[in-house]
């Protein structure tokens, strides 16, 4: 029987897993999907429709890590609009939702985010520096048969331990420190997560920033293949490696046509 993460109220706890800080794609895994029904929506992250200080709706759940101080997520009012606030003080966790949509038909993803400061010791190329003030993950159902034998073996072990919801590929958009926007590289822990820097210390820290990405294009550049079905989203702020303190805010996450202005 798979040893999947277990639920504690609205919190999904994933045993012994770092924030995508393991050799296989298991950190921030969608074990939350065991407890949530996947849904298709043009606004999968409709935070503005929620009311602080009530809990998260639409099957958004906090995924904590055993033996790691958790990032604190809550809903707050920002000039009359509800947004998510993530506070990490030597901490790590994610706010995750299972979804199901075909990005070939609607490949654009739009969101806005803000941070109070960058993680000064962040370094995208090292495990010790794998902390970011803000991250947004997109998880994909990449066909198992297209993976190498080593990757298939690792994924089967991860799914036996954590459940079938462990994804086969992910894009991770980050607000970094020193790396230049446009930097794209593999995660320091796994070759199944492509890290894409959108902003850094010189990119208006303290101000809201609007983002829009073409998932089909980004996936092809990263993995050299057509984009598969999207299975989940996660937002995070993590500083468990560096011990620093940051706060990030996330606005609505929307599906859009890739040519949307």
Model pLDDT for residues 58-89, shown as the tens digit of each residue? 999 998 877 899 999 999 999 999 999 999 99
Does residue 247 sit within a domain?
A: yes
Q: What is the pTM of this model?
A: 0.83
pLDDT tens track for 81-112: 999 999 999 999 999 999 988 888 889 999 99
Does residue 78 sit within a domain?
A: yes
Report pLDDT for 113. Answer: 98
Domain tally, the chain: 1
Report pLDDT for 3. Answer: 28
Report pLDDT for 166. Answer: 58
Does residue 223 sit within a domain?
A: yes
Question: Could you tell me the two tokens for 59?
Answer: 């099957």
Report pLDDT for 184. Answer: 97
Report pLDDT for 48. Answer: 96
| 167 has pLDDT over 70 | no
Domain limits for position 249: 6-256
Does residue 261 sit within a domain?
A: no
Mean pLDDT of 176-183: 96
Q: Considering Cα of 32, then 34, then 35, then 37, what sign does the dihedral take? A: positive
Report pLDDT for 9. Answer: 37
Does residue 1 sit within a domain?
A: no
pLDDT tens track for 117-142: 999 999 999 989 999 999 999 999 86
């Amino acid at each position: 029987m798979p040893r999947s993460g277990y639920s504690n109220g609205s919190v999904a706890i994933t045993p012994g897993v770092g924030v995508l800080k393991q050799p296989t794609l298991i950190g921030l895994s969608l074990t939350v999907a065991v407890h949530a029904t996947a849904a298709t929506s043009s606004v999968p992250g409709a935070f503005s429709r929620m009311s602080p200080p009530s809990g998260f709706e639409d099957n958004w759940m906090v995924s904590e890590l055993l033996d790691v101080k958790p990032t604190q997520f809550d809903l707050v009012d920002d000039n009359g609009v509800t947004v998510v606030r993530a506070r990490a003080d030597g901490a790590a966790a994610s706010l995750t939702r299972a979804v199901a949509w075909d990005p070939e038909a609607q490949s654009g993803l739009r969101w806005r985010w803000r941070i109070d400061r960058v993680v000064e010791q962040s370094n995208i190329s090292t495990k010790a520096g794998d902390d970011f003030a803000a991250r947004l993950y997109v998880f994909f159902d990449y066909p198992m048969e297209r993976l190498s034998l080593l990757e298939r073996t690792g994924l089967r072990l991860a799914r036996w331990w954590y459940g079938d919801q462990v994804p086969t590929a992910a894009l991770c958009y980050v607000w970094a420190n020193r790396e230049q926007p446009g930097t794209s590289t593999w995660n320091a822990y796994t070759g199944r997560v492509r890290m894409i820097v959108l902003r850094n210390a010189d990119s208006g820290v303290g101000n809201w920033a609007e983002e829009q990405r073409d998932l089909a294009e980004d996936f092809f550049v990263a993995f050299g293949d057509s984009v598969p079905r999207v299975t989940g989203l996660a937002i995070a702020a993590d500083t468990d490696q560096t011990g620093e303190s940051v706060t990030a805010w996330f606005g609505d996450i929307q599906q859009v046509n890739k040519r949307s202005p």
